Protein backbone atom coordinates (compact mmCIF):
# COMPACT_ATOMS: atom_id res chain seq x y z
CA UNK A 1 0.00 0.00 0.00
CA UNK A 2 2.87 2.40 0.71
CA UNK A 3 3.64 2.42 -3.04
CA UNK A 4 0.16 3.82 -3.87
CA UNK A 5 0.11 7.00 -1.76
CA UNK A 6 1.12 10.48 -2.93
CA UNK A 7 4.43 10.35 -1.09
CA UNK A 8 6.31 7.25 0.08
CA UNK A 9 5.34 5.74 3.41
CA UNK A 10 5.93 2.43 5.17
CA UNK A 11 9.35 1.24 6.33
CA UNK A 12 12.87 1.67 4.99
CA UNK A 13 15.55 -0.62 6.42
CA UNK A 14 19.14 0.56 6.11
CA UNK A 15 22.37 -0.94 7.45
CA UNK A 16 25.87 0.49 7.60
CA UNK A 17 29.27 -1.03 8.14
CA UNK A 18 31.32 0.04 11.12
CA UNK A 19 32.09 3.78 11.27
CA UNK A 20 30.10 4.93 8.25
CA UNK A 21 27.21 6.39 10.26
CA UNK A 22 29.34 9.35 11.38
CA UNK A 23 31.87 9.44 8.55
CA UNK A 24 31.31 12.89 6.97
CA UNK A 25 32.28 11.49 3.57
CA UNK A 26 29.15 9.31 3.62
CA UNK A 27 27.10 12.52 3.97
CA UNK A 28 24.46 10.41 5.70
CA UNK A 29 22.88 13.23 7.70
CA UNK A 30 22.56 15.27 4.50
CA UNK A 31 20.98 12.33 2.68
CA UNK A 32 18.54 11.66 5.53
CA UNK A 33 17.56 15.33 5.78
CA UNK A 34 16.76 15.60 2.07
CA UNK A 35 14.95 12.25 2.07
CA UNK A 36 12.78 13.06 5.11
CA UNK A 37 11.75 16.39 3.61
CA UNK A 38 10.32 14.47 0.63
CA UNK A 39 9.06 11.41 2.53
CA UNK A 40 8.11 12.45 6.08
CA UNK A 41 5.85 9.43 6.58
CA UNK A 42 8.53 6.77 6.05
CA UNK A 43 9.67 4.93 9.17
CA UNK A 44 13.42 4.55 8.84
CA UNK A 45 15.44 1.87 10.64
CA UNK A 46 19.24 2.01 10.65
CA UNK A 47 21.67 -0.49 12.16
CA UNK A 48 25.37 -1.35 12.05
CA UNK A 49 25.94 -4.87 10.73
CA UNK A 50 28.60 -7.23 9.35
CA UNK A 51 29.25 -6.78 5.64
CA UNK A 52 28.56 -10.40 4.72
CA UNK A 53 25.25 -10.25 6.58
CA UNK A 54 24.28 -7.05 4.81
CA UNK A 55 24.89 -8.51 1.36
CA UNK A 56 22.81 -11.56 2.23
CA UNK A 57 19.99 -9.54 3.77
CA UNK A 58 19.74 -7.17 0.79
CA UNK A 59 19.56 -10.14 -1.57
CA UNK A 60 16.91 -11.78 0.66
CA UNK A 61 14.82 -8.57 0.92
CA UNK A 62 15.54 -8.27 4.65
CA UNK A 63 17.32 -4.94 4.05
CA UNK A 64 16.56 -2.27 1.48
CA UNK A 65 19.92 -0.51 1.36
CA UNK A 66 23.38 -1.01 2.86
CA UNK A 67 26.57 1.07 3.01
CA UNK A 68 29.59 -1.23 2.73
CA UNK A 69 33.32 -1.25 1.98
CA UNK A 70 33.53 -2.69 -1.51
CA UNK A 71 35.21 -6.12 -1.54
CA UNK A 72 33.46 -8.01 -4.33
CA UNK A 73 30.69 -7.53 -6.89
CA UNK A 74 27.69 -9.82 -6.64
CA UNK A 75 25.50 -10.30 -9.68
CA UNK A 76 22.23 -9.58 -7.88
CA UNK A 77 23.25 -6.20 -6.45
CA UNK A 78 23.41 -2.64 -7.73
CA UNK A 79 26.30 -0.46 -6.51
CA UNK A 80 26.60 3.31 -6.05
CA UNK A 81 30.21 4.29 -5.37
CA UNK A 82 30.56 7.05 -2.75
CA UNK A 83 34.25 7.59 -2.00
CA UNK A 84 37.59 5.82 -1.72
CA UNK A 85 39.74 5.14 1.32
CA UNK A 86 43.47 4.52 1.32
CA UNK A 87 44.40 1.78 3.78
CA UNK A 88 47.88 1.65 5.28
CA UNK A 89 49.57 -0.86 7.56
CA UNK A 90 49.70 0.17 11.22
CA UNK A 91 51.37 -0.98 14.42
CA UNK A 92 51.03 0.12 18.04
CA UNK A 93 53.57 1.98 20.13
CA UNK A 94 54.60 -1.23 21.95
CA UNK A 95 55.19 -3.21 18.76
CA UNK A 96 58.89 -3.87 17.91
CA UNK A 97 58.30 -2.42 14.44
CA UNK A 98 57.23 0.98 15.79
CA UNK A 99 60.72 2.47 16.21
CA UNK A 100 62.21 1.04 13.03
CA UNK A 101 62.91 3.24 10.03
CA UNK A 102 61.37 2.49 6.64
CA UNK A 103 64.72 1.08 5.53
CA UNK A 104 64.81 -1.30 8.51
CA UNK A 105 61.31 -2.65 7.85
CA UNK A 106 62.25 -5.62 5.72
CA UNK A 107 59.71 -7.93 4.06
CA UNK A 108 60.86 -10.66 6.42
CA UNK A 109 60.01 -8.58 9.48
CA UNK A 110 56.65 -7.44 8.09
CA UNK A 111 55.59 -10.89 6.93
CA UNK A 112 56.66 -12.43 10.23
CA UNK A 113 54.53 -10.07 12.33
CA UNK A 114 51.11 -11.18 13.46
CA UNK A 115 48.40 -9.60 11.35
CA UNK A 116 44.79 -9.05 12.40
CA UNK A 117 42.40 -8.68 9.46
CA UNK A 118 38.69 -8.37 8.73
CA UNK A 119 38.16 -12.07 8.04
CA UNK A 120 36.53 -11.52 4.63
CA UNK A 121 37.41 -12.78 1.17
CA UNK A 122 39.00 -9.61 -0.25
CA UNK A 123 39.15 -8.27 -3.79
CA UNK A 124 42.36 -8.71 -5.77
CA UNK A 125 44.27 -5.62 -4.63
CA UNK A 126 43.65 -6.41 -0.96
CA UNK A 127 44.40 -10.10 -1.49
CA UNK A 128 47.79 -9.24 -2.98
CA UNK A 129 48.70 -7.42 0.22
CA UNK A 130 47.35 -10.03 2.64
CA UNK A 131 48.43 -13.22 0.89
CA UNK A 132 52.02 -13.07 2.10
CA UNK A 133 51.27 -11.80 5.62
CA UNK A 134 51.06 -13.84 8.82
CA UNK A 135 47.28 -13.82 9.34
CA UNK A 136 47.02 -14.55 13.05
CA UNK A 137 43.72 -12.95 14.11
CA UNK A 138 40.40 -11.65 12.80
CA UNK A 139 38.38 -8.62 13.85
CA UNK A 140 35.70 -7.29 11.52
CA UNK A 141 35.02 -4.01 13.34
CA UNK A 142 37.68 -1.32 13.25
CA UNK A 143 37.52 -0.65 17.00
CA UNK A 144 38.40 -4.26 17.79
CA UNK A 145 41.18 -4.27 15.19
CA UNK A 146 42.61 -1.06 16.62
CA UNK A 147 42.54 -2.48 20.15
CA UNK A 148 44.50 -5.51 18.98
CA UNK A 149 47.05 -3.28 17.25
CA UNK A 150 47.34 -1.03 20.31
CA UNK A 151 48.29 -4.09 22.35
CA UNK A 152 51.57 -4.18 20.45
CA UNK A 153 50.98 -7.80 19.52
CA UNK A 154 49.43 -7.30 16.07
CA UNK A 155 49.72 -5.16 12.98
CA UNK A 156 46.73 -4.34 10.77
CA UNK A 157 45.47 -2.43 7.76
CA UNK A 158 43.14 0.48 8.50
CA UNK A 159 41.61 3.31 6.48
CA UNK A 160 43.71 6.42 6.90
CA UNK A 161 40.74 8.37 8.28
CA UNK A 162 39.95 5.71 10.91
CA UNK A 163 43.53 5.56 12.13
CA UNK A 164 44.02 9.35 12.19
CA UNK A 165 43.08 10.03 15.86
CA UNK A 166 45.48 7.32 17.04
CA UNK A 167 48.20 8.61 14.74
CA UNK A 168 47.96 12.12 16.15
CA UNK A 169 48.30 10.74 19.69
CA UNK A 170 51.27 8.58 18.67
CA UNK A 171 49.55 5.36 19.76
CA UNK A 172 49.57 4.01 16.20
CA UNK A 173 52.09 4.45 13.41
CA UNK A 174 51.79 3.80 9.69
CA UNK A 175 54.62 1.55 8.53
CA UNK A 176 56.05 0.55 5.15
CA UNK A 177 53.83 3.18 3.55
CA UNK A 178 55.51 2.91 0.14
CA UNK A 179 54.78 -0.78 -0.28
CA UNK A 180 51.97 -1.75 2.10
CA UNK A 181 48.75 0.04 1.14
CA UNK A 182 45.63 -0.43 -0.96
CA UNK A 183 42.55 1.47 -2.10
CA UNK A 184 39.14 0.48 -0.78
CA UNK A 185 35.94 1.92 -2.18
CA UNK A 186 32.79 2.57 -0.18
CA UNK A 187 29.51 1.74 -1.92
CA UNK A 188 25.76 1.66 -1.38
CA UNK A 189 24.16 -1.63 -2.37
CA UNK A 190 20.56 -2.47 -3.27
CA UNK A 191 18.90 -5.46 -4.89
CA UNK A 192 18.62 -5.43 -8.68
CA UNK A 193 15.38 -7.40 -8.93
CA UNK A 194 13.64 -6.11 -5.80
CA UNK A 195 9.89 -5.51 -5.72
CA UNK A 196 8.86 -1.86 -6.35
CA UNK A 197 9.49 0.25 -3.27
CA UNK A 198 9.08 3.99 -3.58
CA UNK A 199 10.84 4.73 -0.30
CA UNK A 200 13.91 2.73 -1.30
CA UNK A 201 13.98 4.20 -4.80
CA UNK A 202 13.66 7.75 -3.44
CA UNK A 203 16.48 7.14 -0.96
CA UNK A 204 18.74 5.90 -3.78
CA UNK A 205 17.77 8.91 -5.89
CA UNK A 206 18.59 11.18 -2.95
CA UNK A 207 22.05 9.60 -2.63
CA UNK A 208 22.72 10.30 -6.29
CA UNK A 209 21.49 13.89 -5.87
CA UNK A 210 23.72 14.51 -2.84
CA UNK A 211 26.77 13.02 -4.58
CA UNK A 212 26.09 14.53 -8.01
CA UNK A 213 29.11 16.87 -7.83
CA UNK A 214 31.39 14.44 -6.01
CA UNK A 215 34.31 12.54 -7.49
CA UNK A 216 32.75 9.11 -7.73
CA UNK A 217 35.23 7.14 -9.84
CA UNK A 218 35.46 3.67 -8.30
CA UNK A 219 38.94 2.17 -7.72
CA UNK A 220 37.79 -1.28 -8.83
Is the pLDDT at 216 greater than 70, yes or no? no
Size (the chain), residues? 220
Bridge partners of 43, per DSSP, are: 11
CB atoms inside a 10 Å sphere around CB 171: 17
The pLDDT of residue 43: 96
Q: Are β-strands 65-69 and 77-92 bridged in parallel, bridged antiparallel, or unpaired?
A: unpaired
* pLDDT tens-digit series, residues 112-156: 999 999 888 777 778 888 888 999 999 999 999 999 999 999 999
Q: Are β-strands 114-117 and 134-138 bridged in parallel, bridged antiparallel, or unpaired?
A: parallel
**Span 32-54, average pLDDT:** 94
- Which has more confidence, 220 or 34? 34
Q: ∠51-52-55 over CA atoms, to 5°?
A: 85
Greatest distance between any 2 Cα atoms in the chain: 66
pTM of the model: 0.85
The pLDDT of residue 1: 42
The pLDDT of residue 2: 44
Tabulate helix, strand, coil % of the chain (nearest 5): 35, 30, 35
- 63, 145, 152, 183, 186 from 159: Cα distances, Å: 26, 12, 19, 9, 11
Whether 78 contacts 191, CB under 8 Å: yes
Residues of the chain above pLDDT 70, percent: 93
DSSP classification of residue 18: G
The pLDDT of residue 73: 84
Amino acid sequence: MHNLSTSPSGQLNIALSDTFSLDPRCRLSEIIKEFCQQAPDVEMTTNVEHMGDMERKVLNDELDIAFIPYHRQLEGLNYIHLFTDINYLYCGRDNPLYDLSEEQLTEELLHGSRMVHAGLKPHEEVYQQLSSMHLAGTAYHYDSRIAMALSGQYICFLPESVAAPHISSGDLKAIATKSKFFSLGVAVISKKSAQPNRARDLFLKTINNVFVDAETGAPY
